[in-house]
Amino acid sequence: MNFPTWTKPSLLGVAVGAIALAVLGFNWGGWVTGSTASEMSDSQSAAAVASALTLYCVANARNDPMSANKMSELDAVSSYQRRTFVEDSGWATPLGADEPNRDLADSCQDALNAET
């Protein structure tokens, strides 16, 4: 079978255009792969949960019988140990969870520091 002479340049143009479109789309067009989109949605949902539960954590801190002592200890603790302090206090453990939530502890200690 004989192809017309214009077929080869046309197919080459289509291939180059498709490659250029993919490069531009993924680099500057905001296109992402499925796994990247999944990672982005996981991190956004974790941040949303932490944001929603921050008031719960602050309420736990206020209702703690040892709140005054722990708040003064929190002020004395260095900034990079505050999340661990909030986790160890149990304020960042949501109902039904066995372990504290790290994102919740971060947002909770930020909210507690903003109050004082």
Domain boundaries, the chain: 39-115
pLDDT at residue 43, as a whole number: 92
Give the pLDDT mean for 26-30: 91
pLDDT at residue 116, as a whole number: 64
Sequence-distant (≥ 6) Cβ neighbours of residue 104 within 8 angstroms:
49, 50, 53, 54, 57, 92, 94
Tokens encoding 105: 């502890």
Average model confidence (pLDDT) across the chain: 90
- Count Cβ atoms within 10 A of the Cβ of residue 37 and give its class: 0-12 exposed, 13-18 middle, 19 or more buried: exposed
Give the pLDDT mean for 11-29: 94
Whether the per-residue pLDDT at 20 is higher than 90: the answer is yes
pLDDT at residue 37, as a whole number: 93
Question: 0.85 exceeded by the pTM?
Answer: no
Whether the per-residue pLDDT at 19 is higher than 90: the answer is yes
Give the pLDDT mean for 64-91: 89
